[in-house]
Amino acid sequence: QKEVEQNSGPLSVPEGAIASLNCTYSDRGSQSFFWYRQYSGKSPELIMSIYSNGDKEDGRFTAQLNKASQYVSLLIRDSQPSDSATYLCAVLPTGGFKTIFGAGTRLFVKA
Amino acid sequence: DTEVTQTPKHLVMGMTNKKSLKCEQHMGHRAMYWYKQKAKKPPELMFVYSYEKLSINESVPSRFSPECPNSSLLNLHLHALQPEDSALYLCASSQLAGGTNEQFFGPGTRLTVL
């Protein structure tokens, strides 16, 4: 069974701090990794994708991938109350069409 | 146009009704997906269409019937649903299925089965 695991949280950080969200996956052959943000009652919104080991930065967001450790993370710098949402880690195994989603981490940013 | 649209936004139906959910994208994507999401759970894949052909059916009950009339449209026909089918139904699309292709979700249809 291919799995994606996330800490369900809630993760609470003060405004302006760095929020660190973590995800591990079981299929060593996975090649594509995505982070989605989902506000309550809304649909998931793609915020980052990463395919190679290392860091990928986009504005306040940095995705980090370590395939040897089967670990992917999302850092949110200068966290804002508007970042409060559930963050879903998603992994696409090699050759597959089925994206495997983690259960999501709820993030609260306190003003 | 970088949007996936879904109609209706909300749907309430009885267990004997027949209804359809509709999804449309104009991004030239050739893969489209139906997901079901229950509260506080991640999206669960139901169906994948690639080049208008059904590629994946995740053992979904036959009371859910997908249809892909053309590369821009995806329907989900509903018949004889159960109350436990109440959920948020999400449509997504990607350039191609699999690989590095990012999926973009529509706003969803909130379905309540009475």
pLDDT, tens only, A1-58: 679 999 888 999 999 999 999 999 999 989 899 999 999 999 999 999 999 999 999 9
CB contact under 8 A, A43 and B48: no
pLDDT class of A97 with cuts at 50, 70, 90 = confident
Within an 8 Å CB–CB cutoff, is residue B57 touching chain A? Answer: no
pLDDT tens, position by position, B44-90: 999 999 999 999 898 999 999 999 999 999 999 999 999 999 999 99
Question: How many angstroms away from the CA of B99 is the closest CA of chain A?
Answer: 7
Separation CA A109–CA A83 (nearest Å): 7
pLDDT class of B2 with cuts at 50, 70, 90 = low
CB contact under 8 A, A98 and B103: no
CB contact under 8 A, A49 and B102: yes
**pLDDT beyond 80 at A63:** yes
Strands (E), chain A: 4-6, 11-14, 19-25, 32-38, 45-50, 54-58, 61-66, 71-76, 85-92, 100-101, 105-110
Question: How many angstroms away from the CA of A99 is the closest CA of chain B?
Answer: 8
Of B45, B58, B107, the CB nearest to A43: B107
What pLDDT sits at residue A37?
98
Provide CB contacts within 8 A for A14, sequence distance 6+.
Answer: A79, A109, A110
Separation CA B103–CA B92 (nearest Å): 6
Largest Cα separation within chain A, whole Å, is 43
Within an 8 Å CB–CB cutoff, is residue A40 touching chain B? Answer: no
Within an 8 Å CB–CB cutoff, is residue B80 touching chain A? Answer: no
Within an 8 Å CB–CB cutoff, is residue A102 touching chain B? Answer: yes
3-state DSSP call for residue B44? strand
What pLDDT sits at residue B27?
92
Question: How many angstroms away from the CA of B97 is the closest CA of chain A?
Answer: 6
Angstrom distances, CA of residue B9 to CA of B20, B24, B76, B93, B94? 12, 13, 14, 18, 21
Separation CA B33–CA B102 (nearest Å): 12
- For residue B31, give the amino acid letter: A
Question: Which residues sit opposite A77 in a β-bridge?
Answer: none
CB contact under 8 A, A46 and B102: yes
